[in-house]
Homo-oligomer: A and B are copies of this chain.
Amino acid sequence: MKLAMIGLGKMGGNMAARLLRHKINVVGFDFNTEFVNKLVKDEGMEAATSVADAVSKLEGQKIVWLMLPAGEITENQIKDLIPLLNKGDIIVDGGNSNYKHSQRRGAMLAEHGIGFIDCGTSGGVWGLDNGYCLMYGGDKQFADVLAPYAQALTHADRGWAHVGPVGSGHFTKMIHNGIEYGMMQAFAEGLDLIKGKEDFNLDLAQITELWRHGSVVRSWLLDLTAEALKDDQKLEAIAPYVADSGEGRWTVVEAVEQGVAAPVLTVALQARFRSQDSKGYSYKLLSLMRNAFGGHAVKSSK
């Protein structure tokens, strides 16, 4: 068994390594040759000098697994692969693509007889050791071909499934991430309130560790949070800034399109937007209005 892994960053690199450790051959390519060389040296990966080179090193029904940034990079890579592949070959997009794009791409590839699996991938940097969670969308025949790879990538052959037609893998992953945003925000708010209750002077590291055992909120996120708080809970070196990937945004847009109230997923996203907003124009407007009707003092900037 062998596949080509295109994109060897945090996710793709670890997945290549895990496959190799499970005796699956991987020919890998990334523009960053350091990533390539490290996998060659440490894990015995076969190196390719280009995507075309990687494809040429596969035989029979070729499988090209993309772990690339969503958007134009993935779009262009898929288009570039078309002339390099034969009918029946399979492209897997394991990145965080918008599911609507995956639906379009699947249809486009189907016109060329090329199989497409949109694979929602969860597990973060811990997937290498713990196994990933994989959500396959696409034709069942192609998902079946990918089963042995999924077995290697997941823990004890669990944590993967063919969930539905093209697009449904990334859709499922999108919702997963929406839920993740909500859970993270729930913990952040709760811990913030514990810290804010200053007269109790509570120890967040102790409490998060405690909750890991027997409480209703026990979860992997809590495990990691407890671990991360062990050394430092002041977090003075960390900026109050939270990035957001596209997935949280798409989930909210999906809810609007479905006409479904998803308030937790939405306010969790908005909290991140707030953290990214250094100007606070809406606050300034509010302050202006308060001054206008009530004569309340406006706080000067600086």
Contacts and interface: CB of A to CB of B under 8 A. Distances in A.
Interface of A: 10, 122-127, 130-135, 154-156, 158-161, 163-165, 167-168, 171-172, 175-197, 200-203, 206-207, 209-222, 224-225, 227-229, 235-244, 249, 251-277, 279-296, 298-302
Given A186-B179, A219-B219, A220-B218, A270 B263 contact: yes
Contact of A286 (B178, B188, B220, B294): B188
B221 A293 contact: yes
Nearest to A127: B214
B290 A243 contact: yes
B122 A214 contact: yes
B261 A264 contact: no
Contact of A256 (B182, B220, B269): B269
Given A123-B214, A206-B161, A186 B188 contact: no
A260 B192 contact: yes
20 contacts: A10-B294, A122-B216, A123-B214, A130-B214, A131-B213, A133-B215, A154-B213, A163-B210, A164-B200, A183-B183, A184-B289, A193-B260, A217-B219, A228-B288, A228-B289, A240-B287, A240-B301, A242-B290, A263-B270, A271-B286
Contacts of A172: 194, 202, 207
Given A123-B215, A273-B259, A300 B249 contact: no
A124 B210 contact: no
B217 A176 contact: yes
Given A159-B212, A240-B284, A262-B270, 20 more contacts: A155-B213, A158-B212, A184-B290, A185-B263, A193-B251, A193-B258, A196-B260, A197-B254, A219-B219, A219-B222, A235-B284, A237-B300, A238-B298, A239-B299, A241-B283, A242-B286, A259-B273, A264-B264, A266-B267, A267-B267
A161 B156 CA distance: 34
A103 to B, nearest CB: 10
A5 to B, nearest CB: 18
Contact of A216 (B123, B201, B227): B123
B294 A274 contact: no
B220 A135 contact: no
- Report whether over half of chain A's contact residues are helix, strand or loop; otherwise say mixed: helix
How many copies of this kind of chain does the complex include? 4
A301 B214 contact: no
A227 B291 CA distance: 12
A163 B202 contact: yes
A260 B254 CA distance: 17
